[in-house]
């Protein structure tokens, strides 16, 4: 069977092909879920790699690290693995919303973080409360709620501590 496209139909064929191609990500996009979450205090030294001594730039090894204060690496980190990473095309300014009830507080503090294209298809995410936002290495959050959102603000996935789930 031979497929032939006449000059009159070539434009229509290309248009239909481009339309189908643009819809492919919509149908093929996997549901985003949080596979694993770990929270712990990490020291500045735990982020150094040998290449940093030569380049003077942080080497994340393909992981995606966002911090409340970029100049200070020490802090309390939430390490997350998603089932699929949804931010491959552009930066979403408030992709991560982290609400934390800090030691000594009764109201949650909201932190937002941008996420965008990554080196790997599904990177390990490290969300850090650093510098003055987490001054005590011995402190632990009383409760926390973490959520991922798309560019329209729609929630894609969430995780929370046990204490966060208890309602008044």
CATH number of the structural domain spanning residue 44: 2.60.40
How far is residue 126's CA from residue 111's CA, in Å, rounded to a whole number? 14
CA–CA separation, 100 vs 144, rounded Å? 4
User: Does 99 map to a domain?
Assistant: yes
Share of the chain above pLDDT 90, in %: 60
**1 domain residue, yes or no:** no
Helices (H), 82-154: none
pLDDT attached to residue 26? 46
Other CB atoms within 10 Å distance of the CB of residue 19: 9
Q: Does 12 map to a domain?
A: no
pLDDT digits (tens, 9 = 90+) for 7-66: 555 555 444 444 444 444 444 457 899 999 999 999 988 887 888 778 778 766 778 999
DSSP secondary-structure letter at 92?
Answer: E
Dmax over CA atoms of the chain, in Å, equals: 75
In a domain, 59, yes or no: yes
Would you place residue 166 in the very low, low, confident or very high pLDDT band (cuts 50, 70, 90)?
A: confident
Q: What is the DSSP letter of 9?
A: H
Number of domains within the chain: 1
Contact (Cβ atoms closer than 8 angstroms) between residue 32 and residue 83: yes
Q: What is the pLDDT of residue 15?
A: 44
Burial bucket for residue 133 (CB in 10 Å: 0-12, 13-18, 19+): middle
Range of the domain at 82: 30-165
β strands within 3-134, DSSP E: 34-42, 64-67, 75-82, 92-101, 109-115, 125-130
- Residue 102: inside a domain: yes
């Amino acid at each position: 069977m031979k497929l032939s496209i006449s000059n009159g139909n070539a434009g229509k064929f290309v248009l239909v092909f481009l339309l189908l191609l643009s819809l492919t990500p919509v149908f093929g996009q996997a549901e985003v879920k949080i596979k694993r979450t770990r929270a712990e205090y990490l020291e500045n030294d735990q982020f150094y790699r040998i290449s940093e001594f030569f380049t003077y730039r942080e080497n994340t090894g393909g992981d995606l690290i966002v911090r409340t204060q970029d100049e200070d690496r020490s802090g309390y980190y939430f390490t997350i693995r998603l089932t699929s990473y949804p931010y491959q095309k552009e930066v979403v300014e408030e992709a991560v919303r982290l609400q934390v009830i800090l030691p000594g507080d009764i109201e949650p503090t909201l932190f937002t973080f941008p996420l965008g294209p990554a080196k790997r298809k599904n990177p390990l995410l490290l969300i850090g409360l650093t510098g003055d936002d987490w001054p005590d290495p011995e402190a632990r959050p009383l409760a926390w709620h973490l959520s991922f959102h798309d560019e329209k603000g729609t929630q894609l996935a969430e995780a929370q501590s046990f204490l966060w789930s208890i309602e008044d």
